[in-house]
Amino acid sequence: MRNDRRKPPHRVGVIGYGFIGRAIVERLRSDPENFELAFVHARRREQANDVLDADFLADIGSAQTRGADLVVETAHPSITRLHGADIISHSDYMPLSTTALTDEALLATLQEIAVASHTQLLLAAGALIGGEELIKRSVPWERVRVTFRKHPKNIDFSDVDLVPENILAPTTVFEGSVRQIADRYPRNVNTMVTAALLSTGLDACEGILVADPALECAVAEVEAWGSDGSYFRTEKQQPAKGVSGTEMVDSVWHSIQQACGVSAKAFQLV
């Protein structure tokens, strides 16, 4: 028999108030039956001038006082490096800037604190399609490759010596391990890091980034090979906004609903 006893709304804190952070806050506000906004943190107060003073958190170090069940980072990998350990000691934590987790020592620390604190370190789906396929096998995939194809204007080249205006034809700007590409293109490959963490690991998972000025969309491809001869491939195409696809908000929102037990189970129709 279905249990209809109502549960209190889930309190969610949001760090970062750019395109994604602002959209997530709007989604939280639009569903008061299931969610409450625990806090919003932005680097500058004026970035979140539509957020009430009571909901704004100036000091991340005091996040514990807001009673968040889940904290979602939408800002920068430095948030996880500087504050992740404190956050996960009292709340579930979903960092969207997953390139921070390429630091093995940091990842191990967060996992240890989560176990001790009975909290969770969560990965959002983002642009990744087929995450369940990567993790559900009893025998891990032998090889996994993730390929991103984007217009140069949708790639952040600030950490490498490349000028996007000089790329006039399809150009592979990186091919190697996901750990290496995350170091060179930290704002572009969070989905690659997620795929690697769910499958073969950061050093074994292959990452390819192609800059193609002819593209009018962002393309994400995931391929996996099994030792038994099995093969798996997905491809997702979507318009890009900045370095992210336009469906990023929908994907993150669905991940938040799943983390809080709000969304239906996989393939559940009623």
Structure confidence at residue 36 (pLDDT): 97
What CATH number matches the domain at 10-126+249-259, 3.20.20.140, 1.20.120.420, 2.40.37.10, 3.40.50.720? 3.40.50.720
Where in the chain is CATH 3.30.360.10? 131-246
Compute the average pLDDT of residues 155-176.
95
Where in the chain is CATH 3.40.50.720? 10-126+249-259
pLDDT band with cut points at 50, 70 and 90 for residue 236? confident
What CATH number matches the domain at 131-246, 3.30.450.20, 3.65.10.10, 3.40.1190.10, 3.30.360.10? 3.30.360.10
Which long-range contacts (C-beta less than 8 Å, at least 24 apart) are formed by 224-228? Answer: 224/130, 224/133, 224/134, 224/141, 224/143, 224/144, 224/145, 224/199, 225/141, 225/142, 225/143, 225/144, 226/137, 226/139, 226/141, 226/142, 227/139, 227/142, 228/139
Instruction: Please give the residue that has the higher pLDDT: either 245 or 117.
Output: 117
Res. 46: pLDDT tops 60? yes
Res. 3: pLDDT tops 70? no
Query: Across the chain, what does the average pLDDT equal?
Result: 90
Amino acid at 194: T
Instruction: With CA atoms as reference, report the closest residue to 101 among 69, 68, 124.
Output: 124
Share of the chain above pLDDT 90, in %: 74
* Bridge partner list, 70: 12, 92
